[in-house]
Amino acid sequence: MTQPKLTPLAARLPASVPFVGPEAQERQRNQQFIARLGANESGFGPSPKAIAAMQKAASEVWMYGDAENHDLRHTLAKMHGVAPENIMVGQGIDGLLGVLVRLYVAKGENVVTSAGAYPTFNYHVAGFGGVLHTVPYKDDHEDPDALIAKALETQAKLIYISNPDNPMGTWHSAETMAQMIAKTPVGSLLILDEAYIDLAPDGTAPAIDVTNPNVIRMRTFSKAHGMAGARVGYAIGHAEVINAFNKVRDHFGMSRISQAGALAALQDTDWLPHIRAEVANSRNRISQIATENGLSALPSATNFVAIDCGADGAFAKSILAALIDQGIFVRMPFVTPQDRCIRVSCGPTDQIDAFAAALPKALATARAALR
């Protein structure tokens, strides 16, 4: 029997995922990690009110979630001072990015991003046959001017930038981002990924202007709200851009449990300040650990810290491997020169203590391998 053939595009793609998850690594190691500090999750957890709401909603899981995400969209719209028609809820930013690429990028059309930026976006572009053009980081920051210049050169349909940035944790001011938005070429859509904006300093996010059809903002409940496993993200944009999602999105993709948890998280206005304080303390501690070991930490506006290991990517990879051997799950950037760093997520004190204990041994192992 001859099996049906994949499309030519699908046949050329690797059967892979952008990230190897910690669970997969634990199965390979046949041992659980003692510190889960690699996926930029919030080890501080979600609001207790969100947990209670999700527990209550579990008894209603026999029903599909509201296909319009009505209550959540209206609450988000009120919070951001826009209309519900300017909000689209989806299965995390990753899910929304996939729909957006499907809507705007035909086979052979151009897309611009930074070399080493969030790889899931690239994964979607490849999956729909787009052509990816990259520009280098500048001083460990994504480079807005270079991205715009490349978009003009290639007539790119989409331009991707995250602010604050993943994987480096750096950020641009609201003024810089507003200038980038103003320079976005006609015919291009700027995707401003603001997954970490709740953890950034004041003055990082430019004002939201939903009258501009050339920019779309992406937000998530996975980071500061501590709900990565619930898969809730949302987009803010021009009503026509937002309505286009309804052409192809999975209308019943959001579970009732996730919807209830996200709504309760928004209503708990005390939780985010608490998490911001926890993350700030954890960032400081990670930076201190880096300094104590002769390394340097990059300033961060996220819930992780990039630590410059002081050499090349091979040396950083050796440190990473030695940490994993000790049960510490961390990750690292994958493009030079950012790959000189390892990236450590903020987390509870006991997990950061475990990282502090493991790092000197990992450094010794990596340095010994150089001799």
pLDDT in tens, 93-112: 999 999 999 999 999 999 99
Strands 110-114 and 158-162 turn out to be: parallel
Q: Which helix (H) or strand (E) holds 74?
A: helix 70-80
Amino acid type, 369: A
Give the span between the Cα atoms of 303 and 361, in whole angstroms: 25
CA-closest candidate to residue 271, choices 42, 11, 6: 42
CA-closest candidate to residue 93, choices 19, 205, 207, 193: 193
The whole-number pLDDT of residue 1 equals 57
- C-alpha distances (whole Å) from 47 to each of 7, 58, 138 are 44, 17, 37
> Domains (ranges, CATH) in the chain?
18-45+271-370 (3.90.1150.10), 48-267 (3.40.640.10)
Tokens found for residue 263: 């709504």
In the predicted model, what is the mean pLDDT of the chain? 97
pLDDT in tens, 224-258: 999 999 999 999 999 999 999 999 999 999 999 99
The whole-number pLDDT of residue 17 equals 77
The whole-number pLDDT of residue 269 equals 95
pLDDT in tens, 253-272: 999 999 999 999 999 999 99
pLDDT in tens, 81-98: 999 999 999 999 999 999
Q: What confidence category does residue 303 fall into, taking pLDDT thresholds of 50, 70 and 90?
A: very high
- Rounded to a whole number of angstroms, the CA Rg of the chain reads 21
The whole-number pLDDT of residue 322 equals 97
The whole-number pLDDT of residue 338 equals 97
- pLDDT at residue 35 tops 90: yes
Strand locations in the chain (E): 35-36, 87-90, 110-114, 131-135, 158-162, 189-193, 215-220, 233-237, 296-297, 304-308, 328-329, 341-345
Q: Which residues contact 359 (CB under 8 A, 6 or more apart)?
A: 289, 293, 319, 323
The whole-number pLDDT of residue 334 equals 94
- C-alpha distances (whole Å) from 14 to each of 9, 11, 281 are 10, 8, 40
% of the chain exceeding 70 in pLDDT: 100
The whole-number pLDDT of residue 370 equals 81
| pTM of the predicted protein model | 0.96
pLDDT in tens, 45-82: 999 999 999 999 999 999 999 999 999 999 999 999 99
Give the span between the Cα atoms of 206 and 175, in whole angstroms: 7
Spell out the long-range contacts of 298-301 with Cβ–Cβ below 8 A and sequence spacing 24 or more: 298/140, 298/168, 298/169, 298/170, 298/341, 299/169, 299/170, 300/164, 300/169, 300/170, 301/164, 301/169, 301/170, 301/171, 301/196, 301/199, 301/200, 301/201, 301/204
Q: Which residues contact 126 (CB under 8 A, 6 or more apart)?
A: 13, 132
% of the chain exceeding 90 in pLDDT: 96
